Structure 1
Amino acid sequence: MSVLLIEPFYGGSHKQLMDLLQEELQEDCVLCTLPAKKWHWKARTSALYFMQTVPTSSNYRILFASSVLNLPELAALRPDLGKLKKVLYFHENQLAYPVQKCQERDFQYGYNQILSWFMPEHKLARLEKVIGVKRNGDSYQLEGLPGQQESRAVMKTSDAHLESGLCEPQPGLCTTQHEGLPSPPAAPVQAEAPESTNPCQGEDKQCLTFNLSNILSGLDYQQRPLHIAWPHRWEHDKDPETFFKVLMKLKEQDLPFHVSVLGETFSEIPDIFSEAREVLGSSVLHWGYLPSKDDYFRALCMADVVVSTAKHEFFGVAMIEAVHCGCYPLCPKALVYPEIFPAEYLYSTPEQLLKRLQNFCKRPDIVRKHLYKGETAGFSWAALGSKFRSLLAAEPREDL
C-alpha cells in the first residue's frame, strides 16, 4: 500500500487512468474516489472530504492525484499526506478551458491548479532542462503546453483499458456516492454504476438497439454508407454544434451516411443534440452512451471515420481508441492534435471538414482501404509501463 491514488471525479478518462494504475500496481496501492458528478463542487471541496476519509497509514510513500483535487489544501489538512512524494496529473488546463456563456470566468479552478503545481527552485531548474520552462525575471514562462506532454505520458491505454465506459468496481475502493461533505462513512463502500446516461431511456420514442450486424446485414461492405463516429462527452467544450451542423449539411445534400453518437452525458446536455437527432433521423445508427466496453469497441470497429470538433483537448483518448479500432481520424489543426496526428488527418475550418466528409460520403472505399500513417503503439501500457513504475517508485528523487 505504498501508492495512494486519489480521484475526486471518478469517471471517463479520470477513472480509466486510475483503474489502469490500480490494476498494474495491484496490492501496492489504495484508491480513494468520489463519483463523477458536479465537477465544480468536487474541485472546491474534495480536499476537505478526503481529509476525513483517506485512511491513515504509515505505508504510504507516494500520493498520485488528478488536478481536480486542490492538493495544497489536502496537504495542509493532512500533514501526514503532505510529507509524501506527490505526482499530480492535469487532465485539462482550467485557465484555458472554453467558457460556455459570455460571462466573467471563475478563476478559482485555475488558481487551484497553479497552487497545486507550484514547485521549489531546484525542481523548476530541472523543468527548464526537460520541458522548456524559461525564466522571465522572477517568474517562469512556459514554452508550449507542458501539460500536453504529461498527458501523453499518462493517458495511455492497453487494449483492455480503452475509454469505453465504466468498468466493474474494484474491491477495496475508498469510495462514496455523497455529493456534499457528510460525516465519513464507518467503512469504505464500493462505487456504484452511474445512472443510465442514454437520453432515450424513459421516453416513449423508440431507441435503436445496438446491433449493427443486424442493421447492416445484407449490405455489401463496400456498398454501405459512410459510417461516422463521434465518441465524445456531450458537452460544449467538444463543440457538438460544429459537428452536427456539418452533418445536417450532408443530410441536406442527400449524401448517404450513418452516424454513431457515443460518449457520456451529464446533467446538462446542449440543445443541439435533440435538434440533430430529429434532423438526422434514419442516418443515426446509435445515439447515446454505451456502458458496455464491448459494444463501444464494436461501434468503433464498425465505423469508417472518427471526428473531433473539440475546442479544448490535452490528448484525446477517444480519438486514439477509434484509430486503434481502424477509423480514419479527422481532427482540428489545433490544440494537441498536430502533435499526434499527421497533417492529412487535420482540418482548419468547418468548411474543410464538410468537404472532406462530402468526398468520403461519395467514395467511402477511400477510407475503408486506407492504412493509418501515424503511430499509436507508443501510447500503450507496454511502451509506458516501465516509465510509470519509475515515476511511482517509493523513493523520491530530486529530478521528479
Structure 2
Amino acid sequence: MKALLLSAYAAMSHRHWADGLQQQFPEIDWRRLELPPRHFPWRIRGNPLTWLGQERDCLHEDYDLVVATSMVDLATLVGLCPSLARARKVVYFHENQFAYPLPKGQRIRAEPLMVNLYTALAADVVVFNSAYNRDSLLRGARDFLKRMPERLPLDSVLSRIAEKAVVLPVPMSEETPKPARLGRRVLWNHRWEYDKNPEAFFTALETLTTRGIDFEVAVLGQQFRDQPPVFEASRAWLGERIVCWGEQPGDVYRDMLDSADIVVSTTDHEFQGLAVMEAVTQGCVPLVPDRLCFPEYYASAYRYAGDQTTLEATLAQWLTDPASRPGLPDARAWQWPAWRDAYREVLIGT
C-alpha cells in the first residue's frame, strides 16, 4: 500500500503523530512531506503552492492513501493534482481553527476556518483527537457560517462532516508507566504562549508562596522568540524554588518529568494535551481544568473547576497533604497498543 503523509505545519505534536504512524504501520510504503511550523497564515493557505514548487513529481504519483493534517489545504491540492482524488483520503485534526483562542487585539480571519472546512469536506474520513475537538468544530462552523451573507445549507454541509468523523487520540509510545511520587515538585511543561494561560499558573504559585507553602518548580516547554512577559517576571521572584527553567534537550526534559510530582495545566486551549500525558506516564499526578478536552481523559479527581481559587486550593492541599492526591490515571489507555486496530481500520478501511 502506497501512502502520502502530509503535514503543513509540523509542530512537535504533529511530528510525534506522524512518526508513530510510520513506526506502527511499516507495511505501508510511506512518502512524507511536511513544512516547518512558522508563518502560520501563509502555511495554512499556501501549502499547495509550496509543495507544487518543491515536490511536483511526488504529488503526481499514484497513491492508495493520502493522510493529511487539518492545516493541509486538501481540497485545493486534490484540484491541482487530480491523481490524488483516486486515493483514500484521511484528514487528522490535531486542533481546529474554530475553537483556537485568538491573541488580544486580533480579529477572526475567514481563510483558516474555510481551509478546515474544505479539507474536511474533501476527505473520506475525518479524524479528531477528542470529541471536544469534533464538537467545537461543528459548533464553531455553524456559528461562523450563519454570519455569512448567503443562506447556506448548514445541516447538509455539517452532517457530511459529522457522518465521516472518528475520534482517535494521538497515541503515546508504548512504555511501562512510572508510579506516582509524593514530593513537592510542581511541573509546567507546555508551550510558552498566550493560549496556555501561564498567568494563572504563576499567580497560583505566588499565592502558595504568600501562604508559606513549600514547593519546587520546573518550568519546561517549547519557547519562542515572543513569549508572555509573566515568565521572566516570575523567574525573578521564584528564585531558589526553581529546579529547571526553559526549553531543554530530550534527556534533560525526560529526567525532569521523572523527578516531578504534580503536573499542572491552566490552558485556555487544549484538544488533547500530550504534554500532560507525557508527565502522567512518568509518574506525575495531573491537575487540569474542568473544560475543553480534559473531562474525556481525566476523572473528576484530577480536574479543578476552572477558577483561580479552586486551582490554588487544590494545589495547596496536594502539596501540604500528599496522601490526599488521587492515584495516577492508567497511562496505558493512551498508548499505541490500545489504538493500533482502530487506526488500521481508518487507514486501510478494513
Give the Cα–Cα distance (whole angstroms) in 1 for the partners of residues 244 and 4 of structure 2: 39
Give the Cα–Cα distance (whole angstroms) in 2 for the partners of residues 41 and 268 of structure 1: 19
Post-superposition CA distance 1:92-134 (Å, at most 9, x none): 12112111113421221111101111269x989xxxxxx9989
**Is 1:335 the counterpart of 2:350 in the alignment?**
no
Give the Cα–Cα distance (whole angstroms) in 1 for the partners of residues 240 and 122 of structure 2: 54
SS at match of 1:50: helix
Aligned partner of 2:147 in structure 1 is: none
Give the Cα–Cα distance (whole angstroms) in 2 for the partners of residues 82 and 327 of structure 1: 45
- Equivalent position amino acid for 1:43 in 2: I
SS at match of 1:339: helix
Aligned partner of 1:350 in structure 2 is: 308
Give the Cα–Cα distance (whole angstroms) in 1 for the partners of residues 247 and 92 of structure 2: 26
* Gap change, CA 1:50 and 1:38, over 3 Å in 2: same
- How many Å apart are 1:360 and its aligned residue? 2.2
Give the Cα–Cα distance (whole angstroms) in 1 for the partners of residues 105 and 10 of structure 2: 29
- How many Å apart are 1:91 and its aligned residue? 1.2
- Equivalent position amino acid for 2:289 in 1: P
Equivalent runs, 1:124-143 vs 2, <5 Å: 138-140=153-155
Give the Cα–Cα distance (whole angstroms) in 1 for the partners of residues 60 and 108 of structure 2: 39
Alpha carbons 1:22, 1:31 under 8 Å: kept = no
- How many Å apart are 1:302 and its aligned residue? 1.0
Alpha carbons 2:101, 2:195 under 8 Å: kept = yes
**Is 1:321 the counterpart of 2:281 in the alignment?**
no
Alpha carbons 2:7, 2:33 under 8 Å: kept = yes
Post-superposition CA distance 1:208-258 (Å, at most 9, x none): xxxxxxxxxxxxx86x5x111111111111111111111122122222111
Alpha carbons 1:9, 1:35 under 8 Å: kept = yes
Q: 1:80 aligns with which of 69, 83, 90?
A: 83
Q: 1:265 aligns with which of 223, 227, 234?
A: 223
Give the Cα–Cα distance (whole angstroms) in 1 for the partners of residues 314 and 254 of structure 2: 24
Give the Cα–Cα distance (whole angstroms) in 2 for the partners of residues 37 and 113 of structure 1: 18
- How many Å apart are 1:352 and its aligned residue? 0.4
- Equivalent position amino acid for 2:296 in 1: E
Q: 1:388 aligns with which of 332, 335, 343?
A: 343
TM-score when scaled to structure 1?
A: 0.72
Give the Cα–Cα distance (whole angstroms) in 1 for the partners of residues 244 and 277 of structure 2: 20
Alpha carbons 1:50, 1:74 under 8 Å: kept = no
Alpha carbons 2:75, 2:118 under 8 Å: kept = yes
**Is 1:233 the counterpart of 2:191 in the alignment?**
yes
Aligned partner of 1:156 in structure 2 is: 171
* Gap change, CA 1:139 and 1:325, over 3 Å in 2: same
Alpha carbons 2:264, 2:288 under 8 Å: kept = yes
SS at match of 1:48: helix
Post-superposition CA distance 1:4-31 (Å, at most 9, x none): 1111222310110011112223361011
Give the Cα–Cα distance (whole angstroms) in 1 for the partners of residues 153 and 47 of structure 2: 32
Post-superposition CA distance 1:267-301 (Å, at most 9, x none): 32111111111121111111111221x33222112
Q: 2:246 aligns with which of 288, 292, 312?
A: 288
Gap regions ≥5 residues in structure 1: 125-130, 163-220
Alpha carbons 2:60, 2:84 under 8 Å: kept = no
- How many Å apart are 1:156 and its aligned residue? 0.9
CA RMSD of aligned residues (A): 3.0
* Gap change, CA 1:159 and 1:287, over 3 Å in 2: farther
